[in-house]
């Protein structure tokens, strides 16, 4: 009986941690919209945030961005099952499983240097084409950013975002 209770507590704790991680990632994503500048050509229509295979993050993001805008653009959140389902987006979040090097290579091929902020949560992803990568440091969600990838995509992070970054790769 004691083992079952411990197992239940462990499962509940993991679920709570995953929900909190999803919430923090969603909050970061929304804040990125305020502190990263997209080119003028991307400032019409809806501001689209695509999330691949991460329902918890998508649900949190919908809550966080409900009724919000980026400038005059209403924020639209879109959940997709695979990278092939992604068409136009301003921000693309790939889960751990979908941010393997070969999948990031496919994303780079699909979008070229179009101004798409690619977010991941897999160690080493900055070297494979991610603009911003979430990390777990001392049980806290942090992020690192690649100035090279962002510059290639004509995205301009401001000093606030750079100051929050755990690591910046030039």
* Residue 95 structural domain: 2-169
CA 61 centroid distance within chain: 10
Q: Which of 42, 46, 28 has the alpha carbon at shortest distance from 115?
A: 42
CA distance 114 to 16: 36
Instruction: Find tokens 């239940």 and name the residue.
Output: 8
- Angle CA(122)–CA(27)–CA(108) in degrees, nearest 5? 40
CATH number at residue 146: 3.40.50
Q: What does the pLDDT read at residue 84?
A: 79
- Do 89 and 111 meet the contact criterion of CB atoms below 8 Å apart? no
- What pLDDT, in 10s, does the model give residues 131-162? 999 999 998 999 999 999 999 999 999 999 99
Across the chain, the runs of DSSP E, i.e. the strands, are 36-37, 47-52, 69-70, 73-80, 91-94, 117-120, 132-137, 140-146, 156-157, 167-169
Mean pLDDT to the nearest integer, 53-71: 93
Q: What does the pLDDT read at residue 144?
A: 96
Domain total for the chain? 1
């Amino acid at each position: 009986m004691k083992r079952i209770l411990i197992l239940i507590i462990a499962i509940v704790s993991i679920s709570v941690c995953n929900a909190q991680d999803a919430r923090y990632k969603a909050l970061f994503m929304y804040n990125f919209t305020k502190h990263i500048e997209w080119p003028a050509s991307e400032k019409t229509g809806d501001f689209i945030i695509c999330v691949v295979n991460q329902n918890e993050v998508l649900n949190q993001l919908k809550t966080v961005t409900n009724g919000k805008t980026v400038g005059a653009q209403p924020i639209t959140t879109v959940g997709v099952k695979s990278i092939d389902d992604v068409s136009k987006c301003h921000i693309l979040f790939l889960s751990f499983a979908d941010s393997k090097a070969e999948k990031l290579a496919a994303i780079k091929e699909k979008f070229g240097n179009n101004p798409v902020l690619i977010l991941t949560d897999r160690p080493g992803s900055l070297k494979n084409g991610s603009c911003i990568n979430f990390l777990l440091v001392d049980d806290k969600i942090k992020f690192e950013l690649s100035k090279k990838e962002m510059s290639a995509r004509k995205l301009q992070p401001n000093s606030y975002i750079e100051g929050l970054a755990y690591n910046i790769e030039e």
